Amino acid sequence: MIDPETAQDRCGQMIELARRAGADAADTVITGSASESVTVRLGALEDAERSEDESLSLRVFIGQRSATVSAANFTSAAAQDMAERAVAMARLAPEDPHAGLAPADALINGAVTSDLDLVDPQDPDPDRLKQRALMMEDAARAVAGVTNSQGASASFGESVVALGTSHGFIGAYRGTSHGISASVIAGEGASMQRDYAYRMARHAANLPPCADIGKLAGKRAVARLDPKTMPSGSMPIMFDPRVSDSLVGHLLGAMNGAGIARRSSFLLDRLGDILFPTDIVITDDPHRPRGPRSRLFDGEGLPTSRSNLVEGGHVTGWLLNAASARQLGLPPTGHASRGGSGAPGVSAANVHMHPGTLSRAAMIAEIADGVLVTELVGQGVNPVTGDYSRAASGFRIRDGELAEAVSGFTIAGNLLEMYAAMVPADDLEMHNAVNAPTIRVDGMTIAGDTA
C-alpha cells in the first residue's frame, strides 16, 4: 500500500501537471487502503478476504469554473491525461461564484506533525483474525436460547490520506482499524429473533475481549424472544446508546452549511434560539487520540479544532467548507470532507453528547409506563421540517423496571420538540465517531396496536 510520503509526492506532481495543463488553481486527494477480514460460521471458516485500493482525485479551477476527475492509476501518462482532461472539462463547466480553494491565509502553516496515535503497529495475520472470530461465535452460541449463527467476523485495515493544494498546503496521515462482530439467532421457527454486537477501534488494545462481544450478541438475541405489541398513545421514550447517536446524527445533518445555504434545514433561522435544555453539551473533537475520525486538517487543508456544537441551549454555528462559507458570508470552520472523487463535502469528526447526572437505572425507575428503544428501522426523517417517524423495537418499561420485549410499533414527533425535551443519562461510552448516552424524551407519539 502507498505510504504517506509517496502520497504527498504524488500530490505535488499532480498539482504541477494541472498547472502546466492550464489550471489557475487545483487541489488533489490521494487515498490508499488495505484490509483483510475473516468470517466463520458454526465453527468453520466461511470467508477470508483481502483487498487493496488506491485512488486519485484532482479538482481544477479555470476562474470560477471547476471540474473534478478521479482514477485508480498513477502512471505518468495517466496522470498527465487526467490533468489535461480536467482542465478541458473545467473550461466547459458553468461558472460558480462560490467555487474556489479555501482561503490561503487560513491554511495550516508548516508541516503537519502532531501525533493523534492513529496507527497500531500490531498487524494481525489471518490466523489471528480467525481466532478472534471463533472466540466470538463460541461465546455467542454458548448463551442459553441461541439456536443458530449468522457468523462472526474479525477484520484489520489501514489507510492513508494525502491532500495537496496549489496555494501551499500539503499533508498526509495514516490510520489503522480493528473490527470484531457477531450475529446470532435465538428461538425456533416463526419465533426466531436475530441480534448482533460489534466494536471498532484504531488499536487492538482498545477492543473488548472477543468473548464479551459474542456473549453480548447472544444475550441481545435471546432477550428479543416473544415480543409483544405496544399500545398507541403518548409515553416516555428512552433511546438506548445503540440508537441515541442517530439523534445527534440528524442534528449534524441539519447543521451542514450547504443545507443552510439552500434553505433546506429544519435549523434554518434558528441559530440564536434556545433549542436544547441548557445543560446539554455536544462536542466535536477532531484531535481525540485514537478517534475514528481524528484529523489535524480538513479536506481543504484547514486546521481542525475541538469545539462545542451545542452549548447553553443553542447551536453555536454551522459546519462549513469553503464553498458553503462563501455562500453564507462566513469563515470556513474546518469541516470540509473529501471522498475518493468530487468536490469537498461537509462532516464533523468525533462527536459526543456529554453525559447527564442520572444513571440509566434511575431514569427507568422514574417511568411508570414507557419504552426503551434499542432498534430503529427506516429513514422517516424530514431534513427540512424535522418531522420524525421511524419503526422501532425494544423493551416495555413497567413500574420503573424493564419488562417484555416489544416490536412492530412506530415512534413519531418532531426533532426540534425532541431536542427541547431530551435528558441524557450518565452512561456515555466513547466507541464510535458519534456517541451519545441513553437519552429520555417525553411527549413523543407511539403508533402501535389499535385493537
* Residue appearing with cell numbers 499533508: 171
pLDDT value of residue 68: 95
pTM value > 0.75 = yes
Determine how many CB atoms are found less than 10 A away from the CB of residue 20. 12
Kindly state the average pLDDT of the residues 33-60. Answer: 95
Closest of 185, 209, 214 to residue 197, by C-alpha: 214
Kindly state the average pLDDT of the residues 347-362. Answer: 97
Pairing of strands 387-398, 401-414: antiparallel
Residue 1: pLDDT band with limits 50, 70, 90: confident
Q: What is the pLDDT of residues 141-165, one digit of tens each?
A: 999 999 999 999 999 999 999 999 9
Q: What is the pLDDT of residues 273-289, one digit of tens each?
A: 999 999 999 999 999 99
4-20 and 76-92 helices, crossing angle to 10°? 50
- Torsion-angle region of residue 239: left (phi > 0), alpha (psi -120 to 50) or beta? beta
pLDDT value of residue 78: 87
Kindly state the average pLDDT of the residues 317-341. Answer: 93
Kindly state the average pLDDT of the residues 6-35. Answer: 95
- Residues 151 and 159: beta-carbon distance below 8 Å: no
Whole-number Å distance between alpha carbons of 257 and 371? 35
pLDDT value of residue 113: 64
**Residue 378: partners with Cβ closer than 8 Å, 6 or more residues away:** 390, 391
pLDDT value of residue 74: 78
pLDDT value of residue 450: 63
Architecture per CATH, 4-222:
2-Layer Sandwich (3.30)
Question: In the chain, pLDDT over 70 holds for what percent of residues?
Answer: 98
pLDDT value of residue 111: 65
Strand partners of residue 336? 346
- Residues 215 and 250: beta-carbon distance below 8 Å: no
pLDDT at position 59 over 70: yes
Helix or strand or coil: residue 309?
Answer: strand
Residue 283 identity: T
| Mean per-residue pLDDT over the chain, rounded | 95
pLDDT at position 331 over 90: yes
∠ CA 68-172-204, rounded to 5°: 120
Count of helix runs (H) and strand runs (E) in the chain: 9, 21
**Residue 12: partners with Cβ closer than 8 Å, 6 or more residues away:** 164, 170
Surface-to-core class of residue 28, CB atoms within 10 Å of its CB (0-12 exposed, 13-18 middle, 19+ buried): buried
- Torsion-angle region of residue 70: left (phi > 0), alpha (psi -120 to 50) or beta? beta
Kindly state the average pLDDT of the residues 312-340. Answer: 95
Q: What is the pLDDT of residues 205-224, one digit of tens each?
A: 999 999 999 999 999 999 99
Helix or strand or coil: residue 46?
Answer: strand
Residue 180: pLDDT band with limits 50, 70, 90: very high
Kindly state the average pLDDT of the residues 355-367. Answer: 97
Whole-number Å distance between alpha carbons of 4 and 87? 27
Kindly state the average pLDDT of the residues 334-354. Answer: 91
pLDDT at position 378 over 90: no
Whole-number Å distance between alpha carbons of 450 and 439? 27
pLDDT value of residue 76: 82
Kindly state the average pLDDT of the residues 328-356. Answer: 93
∠ CA 418-424-428, rounded to 5°: 130
pLDDT value of residue 342: 75
pLDDT at position 26 over 70: yes
Residue 313: pLDDT band with limits 50, 70, 90: very high
Surface-to-core class of residue 425, CB atoms within 10 Å of its CB (0-12 exposed, 13-18 middle, 19+ buried): buried
pLDDT at position 451 over 60: no
pLDDT value of residue 149: 97
Kindly state the average pLDDT of the residues 111-120. Answer: 83
Residue 189 DSSP label: G
- Residues 279 and 304: beta-carbon distance below 8 Å: no
- Torsion-angle region of residue 443: left (phi > 0), alpha (psi -120 to 50) or beta? left
End-to-end CA distance of the chain: 60
pLDDT at position 112 over 60: yes
Q: What is the pLDDT of residues 217-257, one digit of tens each?
A: 999 999 999 999 999 999 999 999 999 999 999 999 999 99
pLDDT value of residue 219: 98
- Cell numbers that stand for 80 in this block: 498527465
The CATH 3.30.2290.10 portion of the chain extends over 4-222
pLDDT value of residue 253: 97
| DSSP codes, 87-122 | HHHHHHSPP-TT-SPPPGGGSPPS----------S-
**Residue 295: partners with Cβ closer than 8 Å, 6 or more residues away:** 116, 173, 286, 304, 349
